[in-house]
Every structure is written in structure tokens, then in C-alpha cells.
Amino acid sequence: MKRGWQTKTLGEICTTIQDGAHQSPKNQFESPGEDRFLYITSKNIRTNYLDLSNVSYVDREFHNQIYPRCKPRVGDVLLTKDGANTGNVALNTIGEPFSLLSSVCLIKTIPELLMPAFLCYYVQSPDGLKSITGQMTGAAIKRIILRDIKLAMIPLPTLTEQQRIVAILDQAFEAIAKARANAEANLKNARALFDSHLQSVFSQRGEGWVENTLENSVIKDCSLSYGIVQPGHEYRGGLPVVRPTDLVTKVIEAEGLKRIDPSLADSYRRTTLRGGDLLLCVRGSTGVVSVASAELAGANVTRGIVPISFDPALVCQDFGYYLMRSEVVQTQIREKTYGAALMQINIRDIRILALPLPPLKEQEALATTFDQLESQSRRLESLYLQKLEALDELKQSLLHQAFSGQL
């Protein structure tokens, strides 16, 4: 810490450290109205800003119970103290009276000693976040208690020095925010680039294209059925099975898969994998498609997956992977998907999916082109993700320098 700086607890340099309502309101409203007040909870507190896109409202009766002891003003610090967003902090920008839930802590500083913006930045720094959240309690729901917030330590330079540091961080963070917005836009465009090309190919079909159903496009032994209904417990050295939750990469390898008693698969030989099969999710995230690696020959799948092996005389398997991902097929899957808690699609609807098919030679050429374009798209995504990570690291480095007296 820089010479001349002090160390204080927040309780020593703040006039108010108070949370909101500890009981839920009887009535919540999605829109404003007469005698309704904004109801700010942890979901509305983001890092450095308030997100009011999904804000709720409460009636005057509830508001009047809370507001007298917890009166936020513009410029006060709002800190999330409960739940997944614990540690998120922002300055209040709402000029009207509103109510807080207990998941949000209102902090009013002594202005002659501590700038709210300085505190806001400090909480975002590695040391500041650790100081605030280091005493979190709870198993299912993490929370910080008010006493620990009051005891949290903060390095305290003079007010003039705080103003200088805040000005530097404001300028730097504004530039970082612009760079981040550009990187995020480029990342989005990179991801959309391949999808756009895929869509254009299947919407602008050329000469010689025909339409066939999925059940008439697969090999004779491909039953288009779902797999093992009850795979049982983990079985050391057992048979690998692919579950819907495994379909997160294009190619599914054996490593990391659940292993089951091989005898459980005896009644599900119809879904035994050959290696190279397409794996279509039909329960949960319906429509997700992956490819079984060659080493999965002999393995199986669970109830949420339908293996697909195309008839090589009709459909190139590599082309089939992109075909099943195309919007023309995905739209059909979405239209037939049903359910509330668990989304799923019936096997009979899978079997009659309409597939637009070009001649085999064109399928092979398209599959090669798709592979190349997707690879380029993935490289671009990786570059922009690295840039976003670098920007986040830069922010943390600046914050560390700021509160260790190095700025």
C-alpha cells in the first residue's frame, strides 16, 4: 500500500450499510402504475450498472414498510450480498424512490472520507472482492452478512487521490468497454458467418436436389430408436454410453463418458454405435447433433439420443452432419418438440423429417467446404474470445495497480 494511505473498515467510513426487505412482497407487478415502486433485487445489479430490463414493481403498502430504513439516493453504492451474483456492485442511477430486497446492500459513504465511485471500483478489484466476499456463508445460497461487510477493510488515500484514481479508471474502463463491445460484436459475427452460409446452401437448392425422409435415407440396420432407458450406476471398466449432456463438441470421444454394466445394453442392440454415427438429441436440448468417434464402435446411447447412420448410396455421412444442423431440419425439430419441464420429440416425428438432398458428388464437395468454413469460423471465435479474456485481465491488472498505490 502507498505511503500516506490509511486502512479503514467500511463501518468506520460509511453512514449506512443496510439491506432491503427480508420478506417477499405479496404482490409484484411487471409494469409501472399508480402507487407502484421499482423493486430492485440481485438480478438487477450488474458490475458497474443497473439492469432494469426485467425489473418488478411493488405496491405502496410494501414500499412504505421498507423505504424508511433503506432510502437509496443517486450515487449510493448497491452491492449484491446473496446468491449467484454476490459481489456485483454498481452506483445507483435511479432518481426516484424504490424498494430493495435483502439480497442487495445499500451503502452510503461519508463523502468527506470516501468517494462512492472509489468504493465501487475497490469492490471489483481482486483484493476488494476478497475483502467483501471472503466471509461468505451458506451452502445452497451464498451470502454475506451485514456485519462482515461493515468489518471489510479498504485502503483509504486522501479524497484528492481518490478523485485522481477514479478519473483514471473511468477513462480506462470506458476505452475497455468500447473494445469489449467491438470484440463481442466480432465474435457474434464470426459465429453467424458459418450459420449464414449453411442456411444459404439449403435455402437456394440447385439442380438435381431431391427430398427424402430420414427413415428412407438411413442404412437398413439403423432403426432410428432411442437408447438405454435406465443406464444404472457407474460401472468400472464398463461399456461407454453417450448421454444428451455429453453432446457439447462435434466429435464425442470415449474419455469422460459414463460407463455402465454391459449387460444393460443387451436389450438395446438396435442403438449400438458403429463409430461415425450421428448422435441426435431428442430429449432436453432437442436438435443438438454430434458425431461418435471411431473408438465408440460397440458403445451405446441413453434414451435421449437417436443414432443416425446414413445409407452411403444416398447420403454422405459428413454432409449428413451439416444437413441435420441446417435450419431446414432444425425448424422441423422445433415445430415437433413439446413439453414444459423436459422438452422432447417423438421418434415417429424424427423418422419423417424431410431432408433436401443434392447429388452425392455435390454432397461430398459441400461437406468439404463446410468443414473448411467452420474451421475458419472457430479460429476467429478463438481469437475474439482470447481478446475478451485479455481485456478482462487488463481490467483486473488496472484495479490491482490502483488499490496498491501503483497508478
pLDDT for the residue numbered 142: 74
Instruction: Mark whether 145 and 221 lie in a shared domain.
Output: no
Task: Show the domain range for 44.
Answer: 6-156
Q: Which of 156, 173, 194 is the last residue of a domain?
A: 156
**CB-neighbour burial class of residue 361 (10 A; exposed 0-12, middle 13-18, buried 19+):** exposed
Please tell me the total count of domains within the chain.
3
Instruction: Mark whether 100 and 236 lie in a shared domain.
Output: no
CB 327 within 8 A of CB 198: yes
pLDDT for the residue numbered 405: 86
Instruction: Mark whether 402 and 272 lie in a shared domain.
Output: no
Per-residue pLDDT of the chain (407 residues; tens, 9 = 90+): 678 899 999 999 999 999 999 988 988 999 999 999 999 999 999 999 999 999 999 999 999 999 999 999 999 999 999 888 899 999 999 999 999 999 999 999 999 999 999 999 999 999 998 888 876 665 556 788 999 999 999 999 999 999 999 999 999 999 999 999 999 999 999 888 888 999 999 988 888 999 999 999 999 999 999 999 999 999 999 999 999 999 999 999 999 999 999 999 999 999 999 999 999 999 999 999 999 999 999 999 999 999 999 999 999 999 999 999 999 999 999 999 999 889 999 999 999 999 999 999 999 999 999 999 999 999 999 999 999 999 999 999 999 999 988 88
Instruction: Mark whether 308 and 255 lie in a shared domain.
Output: yes
Instruction: Mark whether 196 and 236 lie in a shared domain.
Output: no
Instruction: Mark whether 98 and 39 lie in a shared domain.
Output: yes
Cα–Cα distance for residue pair 10/148, rounded to 1 Å = 10
Instruction: Mark whether 305 and 379 lie in a shared domain.
Output: no
Residue-wise over 23-43: b if at least 16 C-beta within 10 A, else e? eebeeeeeeeeeebbbbbbbb
pLDDT for the residue numbered 137: 62
Residue 302: give its domain's CATH number: 3.90.220.20
pLDDT for the residue numbered 138: 59
Which is nearest to 72 in space by CA: 21, 113, 112, 130?
21
Q: Name every residue whose Cβ is closer than 8 Å to that of residue 86 and which is 6 or more positions away in sequence.
A: 42, 80, 133, 136, 142, 143, 144
Instruction: Mark whether 256 and 269 lie in a shared domain.
Output: yes
Instruction: Mark whether 195 and 261 lie in a shared domain.
Output: no
**CB-neighbour burial class of residue 200 (10 A; exposed 0-12, middle 13-18, buried 19+):** exposed
Instruction: Mark whether 216 and 331 lie in a shared domain.
Output: yes
Instruction: Mark whether 62 and 121 lie in a shared domain.
Output: yes
- The strand pair at 6-9 and 153-156 is best described as antiparallel
